[in-house]
Structure 1
Amino acid sequence: MTVAAGSYFDGQSAARHKVEVRIENDATLVLTGATLPQPQHWPLDRLRALADQPGVDGLTVTLFSEEGDESPREPARLTLRDGEMNARIRRLCPDLHRRDVSRGTWGRVIRYATLATAAVLLMLFVILPRMADTLADLIPVEKEIAFGKSITLQIERALGATDLGDLHCEGPEGQAALDKMLTRLTADQTLEYDLDVTVFDHPMLNAFAAPGGQVIIMRGLLDQASGPDTVAAVLAHEIGHVERRDPTRHALRTVGSAGLLSMVLGDFSGGTIAALLGEQLLRASYTREAEADADGFALDMLNAADIDSSGMAEFFEKLEKLEGGLPEVAAYFATHPASAARAQRARDNAARNDNATPALSPAEWQALKNICG
């Protein structure tokens, strides 16, 4: 019978007891010592090694207990430095290094995780959107404009620009045609913002509004549009989003969501949040209500300018046919989901407008298409 010397700590006092340790029937560790009130019997199947071990050959163990807190271990511990005894214990105790948790712990973990997830979702989808809606109405216009300019800078960088303005298309004849289209759309309109409309030299079929009255049209939209009326319709739609402050609401929601997620998942730098904000705005997905309101705003603006809304219908119908066929089309669908109902609404509107004339002359339309050179 192997007998080894060890050190026993009862966990109730600082006393260190010198004990002799032996194994009975390959099932029980028996501890005896002059200072122990009675022998201790530790079942080997309940033996657990502690994380802090005394050197390479040493072994410190305790007992698994169903009672107690989240770490179900007895307070007493035993330290052995006998290599033969320790090897035998390791051989007879397959659960020696098992990490135990108290009964019901996983249920509590799942319950707390579920509550935490529900709280985060409540913040993301209920509280933050309502706060963003309120803040969007409170931000001064000049602050909103500066906010929008910083976002468009991030979008330019996301699209490959090194410096602000690298993607701006400024062909003089094309710019004159764009200005003419904007002037015609906004004539006699009472708008809250001084609109700043820019064409980016990028093949993506997209157009979007940024906070503070800024509207960006991608060259890909000019390349894919069937005529100036289509571009006028898209521009009017984005102006509708501007007037509703939809981009500002969306940006504030994104900032709030990024800040909340940074606390949950780990800190983001300010630059990372800004880049994320630009990417989210570029692919902003507004609610069906916001899209319907922007459509209605665009139709009213087109009617007031005597521009045929058939271009809007044709654009929606073309997107329906192209969806999935061209990678860049997906970008526009991410922000402006086309539907047969929206196209039909535009056609019905066009049928009621007998005075419509093209938004631009053929020469002006060609100049606009060539604005990026």
Structure 2
Amino acid sequence: MRVRALYNDGRRAATHRVTVAIDETGLIVMTGDERRVALWPAGRLRLVERPPGRGPFRVACAEIDGRLTFAAPVLENLHEYYPRLPDREGIDLLGWAKMAGWAAGALIFLLVAFNLATAGLARQAAALVPQAAASALGDRLAGQIVASLAEREARPVDAMTCAQPEALAALGELLGILAQGPGREVGFAVRAIDTAEADLLALPGGQILLSGGAVAAAGDAETLAGLLAHQIGHVALDHPTARLLRTDPAGTLFALTADGAAGGAFSASLAVQLRRLPHEDGAERAADRFAVQLLNHVGVVAGPYAAWRATGSAVPGPGFTTLHPTDADDAEALRRSGIGQYAALAPERWQALAGLCR
């Protein structure tokens, strides 16, 4: 069978639309004119990450540079041909799910043994949370946040998803560039939500909520690239889970380990906290440093993002103002450390992205 995908050869930041032929022997990557670009043997395929929800996922090939990004439904097709497709460490993902129970139990022991009121201990504990458990919690939190927005705006939940193909394609291009920065193995997926509120929020497990209002408030592709890089930094450093463990250890533990209605009740409370409580200052500065390193690595100018950090308090919306307070000194330090010289997107691609959810 053949499917569409985005291909990065691992040597340049650019991604390209390709056709991928899938059979028992492996993946054949081809350009639109049927020219073969790469052949990835089945036995060397690795799932880089399984993102939360129904977002895109990436596949790599051992000992070969490059990444393929597929739409979520293709994962079922790959599993038909390769039933035990391993993750990047060669560990069966089903095994991780089985480990989640006892790992969560070990985490409970740690939380009983230590007081997680300090950010340092919370971050250490967050790093021990199995990815499967964090992703499941992130999925529930995302659903509850979107449902809350839909209720406030008196709209169906299904209407909260941005569906403009050209804008989503431009967003995919920007994310493809950012995915080549430091921590490129970090699993993250951006979910575009249709609301005028300027929300941009990283959740446990790697899901990032991006609203149409946030894109409009950013004003240009370079500022948006910096804001997204900042959220990717939070994901890479386990800040969303650490923040919940620091502010509500018991509720977070129950939400991570409980299923059904019980888990949903605890995660509903956590969803409210995530949108209201800021990261501690050390986490914000660490995410800023990560963001500038990422922008420098992919060559994108950091000045517009630094300028936003100095003046962003004028932007409405809980996702921007309370979670990302401004700091002129920090902004100047970011500006000085930026060495990128290029635009994040071509002007016409930014115009397409600026129409997200309109």
- TM bucket (normalised to shorter chain) is 0.5 to 0.7
Encode CA deviations 1:223-279: one digit per residue, 9 max, x unaligned. 12231000000000000000010001123344435589xxxxxxx976543222111
Encode CA deviations 1:102-138: one digit per residue, 9 max, x unaligned. xxxxxxxxxxxxxxxxxxxxx9x94455764343222
Encode CA deviations 1:272-327: one digit per residue, 9 max, x unaligned. 4322211111233111111111000000000011111011122123324x2xxx6x
What is the aligned partner in structure 2 of residue 140 from structure 1? 130
Taking a change above 3 Å as real, the CA distance of residues 131 and 349 of structure 1, as seen in their structure-2 partners, is closer
Taking a change above 3 Å as real, the CA distance of residues 159 and 243 of structure 1, as seen in their structure-2 partners, is same
- After superposition, where does 1:57-96 map in structure 2 within 5 Å? none
Whole-angstrom CA distance in 1 between matches of 2:181 and 2:319? 33
Q: Which residue identity does 1:201 align to in structure 2?
A: D
8 Å Cα contact 2:306/2:332 also seen in 1: yes
SS of equivalent residue, structure 2 residue 197: coil
Whole-angstrom CA distance in 2 between matches of 1:135 and 1:313? 31
What is the aligned partner in structure 1 of residue 228 from structure 2? 235
Encode CA deviations 1:146-182: one digit per residue, 9 max, x unaligned. 1111111111112125766542212111111111111
What is the aligned partner in structure 1 of residue 343 from structure 2? 358
Taking a change above 3 Å as real, the CA distance of residues 357 and 131 of structure 1, as seen in their structure-2 partners, is closer
What is the aligned partner in structure 1 of residue 266 from structure 2? 273
- After superposition, where does 1:1-373 map in structure 2 within 5 Å? 126-127=115-116, 132-160=122-150, 165-187=158-180, 189-256=182-249, 258=251, 271-320=264-313, 322=314, 328-329=316-317, 331-350=319-338, 353=339, 356-373=341-358
Deviates more, 1:274-283 or 1:207-216: 274-283
Structure showing greater radius of gyration is 1
Give the aligned length.
236
Taking a change above 3 Å as real, the CA distance of residues 249 and 165 of structure 1, as seen in their structure-2 partners, is farther
Structure 2: gaps (5+ residues): 1-111, 254-260
Taking a change above 3 Å as real, the CA distance of residues 275 and 246 of structure 1, as seen in their structure-2 partners, is same
After TM superposition, the score normalised by the length of structure 2 is 0.59
8 Å Cα contact 1:193/1:212 also seen in 2: no
8 Å Cα contact 2:289/2:334 also seen in 1: no
Structure 1: gaps (5+ residues): 1-122, 261-267
Q: Which residue identity does 2:342 align to in structure 1?
A: T
Give me the identity figure in percent. Answer: 31
Whole-angstrom CA distance in 2 between matches of 1:317 and 1:259? 33
| Offset at residue 329 of structure 1 (A) | 4.4
What is the aligned partner in structure 1 of residue 17 from structure 2? none
Taking a change above 3 Å as real, the CA distance of residues 154 and 178 of structure 1, as seen in their structure-2 partners, is same
